[in-house]
């Protein structure tokens, strides 16, 4: 596992020992940041089910100003902390050691509003994430926020998730990325 582009390009990241954590492949990671384009520069990012932290670290390497990592697995939390230290990026990150459902309930403790939200739940938890996202408060998202969910290519994503509308789905073998934006009427007023 490595950082693909930006300030920390080529930096190796620590990966999991065993099968409990499924890191996003470099191919899918490259596709994700191609989809996001220049949005990453200056963005506040939320990395739900952060795993090793490679997506959030890639975002920081590409110019994001802050990333909030949410993860509950102890081994994954160790990897996120180690990878942030290895890249000297701790000052640009918050790590929330809790379940995503607990994080959603905290609301006001967030470092948002977020410009980019990336969700890579263990595939068995995708239905839980879809339920949670349906209850998402629009104030947690920036006006032009992008939410991307990584999931099994066999999984169907709904057209809407609460205040979010599906924009496009991208398939990469067994993995798919589905992009959502705020429905125009749901976007916060400036």
Residue 40 belongs to some domain of the structure: yes
| pLDDT tens profile 124-154 | 777 888 787 777 776 788 988 999 999 999 9
Average pLDDT, the chain: 86
SS3 51: coil
The whole-number pLDDT of residue 3 equals: 78
Compare 124 and 63 and report the one with higher pLDDT.
63
The whole-number pLDDT of residue 122 equals: 82
Residue 174 belongs to some domain of the structure: yes
Render the burial of 78-93: b for 16+ CB within 10 Å, e for the rest: ebbbebbeebebeebb
**57 — pLDDT class (breaks 50, 70, 90):** very high
pLDDT at 42 over 60: yes
Written as one string, the DSSP assignment of 144-183 is: EEEEEEEEETTPPPPSEETTEEEEEEEEETTEEEEEEEE-
Residue 57 belongs to some domain of the structure: yes
Residue 61 belongs to some domain of the structure: yes
Residue 179 belongs to some domain of the structure: yes
Residue 20 belongs to some domain of the structure: no
Instruction: Domain of residue 105: give its range.
Output: 26-186
SS3 156: coil
**12 — pLDDT class (breaks 50, 70, 90):** confident
Here the tokens at position 88 are 């000297």
For the chain, percent of residues with pLDDT exceeding 90: 56
Look at the alpha carbons of 152, 155, 159, 162 in this order and tell me if their dihedral is positive or negative: negative
The helix/strand count (H/E) of the chain reads as 5, 8
**190 — pLDDT class (breaks 50, 70, 90):** very low
| pLDDT tens profile 82-103 | 999 999 999 999 999 998 888 8
Q: How many domains does the chain have?
A: 1
Here the tokens at position 151 are 């999931």
Residue 90 belongs to some domain of the structure: yes
Residue 147 belongs to some domain of the structure: yes
The whole-number pLDDT of residue 161 equals: 86
Residue 115: its H or E element: strand 114-119
How far apart CA 95 and CA 147 sit, in angstroms, is: 19
CATH number at residue 155: 3.40.50.150
pLDDT at 158 over 50: yes
Look at the alpha carbons of 166, 168, 174, 175 in this order and tell me if their dihedral is positive or negative: negative
How far apart CA 54 and CA 48 sit, in angstroms, is: 12
The whole-number pLDDT of residue 11 equals: 79
Query: Model pTM?
Result: 0.89
């Amino acid at each position: 596992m490595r950082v693909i582009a930006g300030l920390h390009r080529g930096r190796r990241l620590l990966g999991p020992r065993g099968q409990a954590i499924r890191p996003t492949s470099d191919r899918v990671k490259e596709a994700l940041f191609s989809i996001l384009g220049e949005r990453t520069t200056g963005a506040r990012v939320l990395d739900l089910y952060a795993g090793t932290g490679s997506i959030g670290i890639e975002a920081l390497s590409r110019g994001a100003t802050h990333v909030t990592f949410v993860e509950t697995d102890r081994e994954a939390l160790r990897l996120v902390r180690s990878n942030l230290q290895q890249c000297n990026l701790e000052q640009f990150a918050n790590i929330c050691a809790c379940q995503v459902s607990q994080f959603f309930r905290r609301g006001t403790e967030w470092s948002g509003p977020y410009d980019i939200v990336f969700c890579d739940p263990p595939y068995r938890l995708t239905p839980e994430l879809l339920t949670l996202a349906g209850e998402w408060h629009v104030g947690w998202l920036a006006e032009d926020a992008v939410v991307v969910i990584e999931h099994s290519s066999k999984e169907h994503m709904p057209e809407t998730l609460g205040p979010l509308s599906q924009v496009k789905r991208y398939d990469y073998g067994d993995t798919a990325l589905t992009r959502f934006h705020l429905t125009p009427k749901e976007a916060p007023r400036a």
